[in-house]
Structure 1
């Protein structure tokens, strides 16, 4: 009986031909040679070698050690390459060329697939922002006066964006409890997660020219799961008046896979109804394409599910975030990454951070390994997600995992 082809996937595989996310990998025999790959089932296709074998005009573009050249090539190239890849893994006549270029995922090492230019993180979930406001301002309005008028964000540190599987060293910094007379220095004791979705910019924009809502697809290549690790105690002491700094900048984890926007066409949904009018550059009421994405996220700590945040509930869309990020004339660069902000829903089990799940440590989460208010050394956090695909399929998003290592020194 002939051996089954890696291209003969189990029905319903979330990483079937309808998905085809991009990554970068190396093999054990060539650990120094990074290659652009595309995931199909539990294998990765050497995209550059496949393009060369089949005479693709994009062979040179795909024979690169990073996704950045493809990102910079623009939307026409993205569509052409995706169309070709779909044919390569589905047309029987190509199997003899493609099958030798497939590598088991278990036999490769995955790397950060793009060079991050700038990193911006937003605060776009009304449920998350309301919970945080209730925790820290119990006697005031949960939302700040500007929250429903613009997507609030901060500029992060691109150099500490790391690929899934990278250990996260517990950060140290200043912290001061309200009852303390003076700040102290040491490892964070309130290390937290933020379950997010990151959006990856491909085509750049010109300095001084804002990117409007209708140009979202011309600039954003795809999305990825993102965990914006947060030292809540460091953040609470430092963030007034200028916002997050050391409490955020020590690490941001992203998946090794980038899902192209075209793979998520069936997952587009309208955002929640808004109760305040928006300024014209943010008003998406007349858009032909819904601005939201129906992504179902699961958060696990040490293998146990602690939350299931729904991305469809996000108040501000990625297109609005991009429009706001550039409305002052700020330019986009290939490899820019912007995070959605913590994804939280209206229910307790839908909260995307331990700050909310434990109500700032007052209501510990029960795990088989013991109660948790915030993360302990050795804890491993994993985010996974799926979205509706065409014809009843599911589109899997590559997981993002990180384990907490003890503080340095």
Structure 2
């Protein structure tokens, strides 16, 4: 198949949705409100339900018995077909959308099918792409873990003794995962009135320390039976694709509740993900090595491949309600010490049965320099310093009316970027009680 980056669909330079990408998502329109699978190409979405109904997959015999997955309201059915099928469908759609292939006229020259299935992105509504049974949030960003350890425990021992031996994680809430463009209310909970007081007394109030966590997540496409672990060196075949994740955090609520069992109310109110799932095969050219460690891993976590994480460029922007945009952070998704294959191998090593649509998140991804941190609490040194914004504004933590947008992309050729689009949400005031 052709390797050209030229498409007959107009794709502006710098688009995250070049023909080298072909990410999958779930969309609806005013005319067709039932959610269906689609792929993004430039400034358009290709409605795969309409494309399949119009015989668009006529050149791909191997998918003919599975066309029903393109009329389902989530990507779970398509994901469950496995990575070889994902690879074949993506390559076929690339050929359909290219200018110089045998399949390039299937859609280009069929005006009726093109009008029904190729829709401007500004006319579609995106939806959470998978039915997410379980969501597990890891702690793989060693730079974030080290910084938080220094803030909480001092510089002598910033990392817990287990950190470089085990991919630490906690089970989070899948029901409050929201799609990019959604709004959410500031959470309320128990907050310690005076952390220095001898007798600790909490009060109930909206959080005053609402924070972001810049993360990457992957959806799974393969199940394992209860009691049967996923081997680390075949775990990548269970990874469907990736999304950007903003694991919003209420730091003051978290500080009071997390001992001894970990985050709960401080994390379960909202998690924003980007709308389009970038397939693992699209990210394959951007593999690199994870951060090195000075500890020997146990055998079940030892990967044969050296290049095991993706070099995805990540950026965090804050837009206040009354001021200009400020870029808070720029970093790379390679700043982790555990790969998703290792996370999955550890998650299942005790016999946990993973399911199609399960979401694994990386934990906060940070660099080591100022302006590369994936959370505000790192930048403000635990709330002790202010962060200067454009327009003369300041923040320690997020205020009502603030909007956070995270973007991520791979590559340097402006005509062949593999990106995720936006992962954005607006913060609304807390819901007032009776």
Which ranges of structure 2 fall in alignment gaps of 5 or more residues? 1-6, 320-324
1:217 CA displacement: 2.5
1:246 CA displacement: 0.7
How do 1:236-315 residues align onto structure 2 when only pairs under 5 Å count? 236-284=255-303, 286-287=304-305, 290-302=307-319, 303-315=325-337
Given that residues 192 and 232 in structure 1 are in contact (C-alpha distance below 8 angstroms), is that contact kept between their aligned partners in structure 2?
yes
1:374 to 397, 419, 422: 397
Deviation digits for residues 18-61 of structure 1, max 9, x if unmatched? Answer: 10111111111222x11111000010001122123223514222
Deviation digits for residues 269-302 of structure 1, max 9, x if unmatched? Answer: 0112221111001112x32x61111011000000
Task: Give the match for residue 122 of structure 2.
Answer: 106
1:78 to 74, 82, 86: 86
For residues 413 and 70 of structure 2, the distance between their equivalents in structure 1, rounded to whole angstroms, comes to: 26
> Structure 1 residues 6 and 191 mapped into 2: Cα distance closer, same or farther (>3 Å)?
farther
1:388 CA displacement: 2.4
Measured on the aligned residues, the alpha-carbon RMSD in Å equals 1.8
Secondary structure, counterpart of 1:246 in structure 2: coil
Which ranges of structure 1 fall in alignment gaps of 5 or more residues? none
How do 1:90-129 residues align onto structure 2 when only pairs under 5 Å count? 90=98, 91=101, 92-94=104-106, 95-97=108-110, 99-100=114-115, 101-129=117-145
How do 1:106-255 residues align onto structure 2 when only pairs under 5 Å count? 106-138=122-154, 140-176=156-192, 177-180=194-197, 181=199, 182-255=201-274
Give the stretch that moved more between structures: 56-65 or 107-116. Answer: 56-65
1:7 aligns with 2:13: no
1:69 aligns with 2:88: no
1:89 to 86, 90, 97: 97
TM-score by length of 2: 0.89
Give the stretch that moved more between structures: 387-396 or 120-129. Answer: 387-396
Deviation digits for residues 341-394 of structure 1, max 9, x if unmatched? Answer: 000011111000001011112121111352100000000000001112899832
For residues 266 and 392 of structure 1, the distance between their equivalents in structure 2, rounded to whole angstroms, comes to: 16
Given that residues 165 and 401 in structure 1 are in contact (C-alpha distance below 8 angstroms), is that contact kept between their aligned partners in structure 2?
yes
TM-score by length of 1: 0.94
Task: Give the match for residue 348 of structure 2.
Answer: 326
> Structure 1 residues 389 and 62 mapped into 2: Cα distance closer, same or farther (>3 Å)?
farther
For residues 231 and 152 of structure 2, the distance between their equivalents in structure 1, rounded to whole angstroms, comes to: 35
1:35 aligns with 2:57: no
Give the stretch that moved more between structures: 90-99 or 106-115. Answer: 90-99
Secondary structure, counterpart of 2:105 in structure 1: helix
Task: Name the one with the larger helix percent.
Answer: 1
Given that residues 266 and 388 in structure 1 are in contact (C-alpha distance below 8 angstroms), is that contact kept between their aligned partners in structure 2?
no
For residues 136 and 209 of structure 1, the distance between their equivalents in structure 2, rounded to whole angstroms, comes to: 38
1:12 CA displacement: 5.3
Secondary structure, counterpart of 1:299 in structure 2: strand
1:405 aligns with 2:428: yes
1:349 aligns with 2:371: yes
1:157 CA displacement: 0.7
For residues 426 and 14 of structure 2, the distance between their equivalents in structure 1, rounded to whole angstroms, comes to: 30
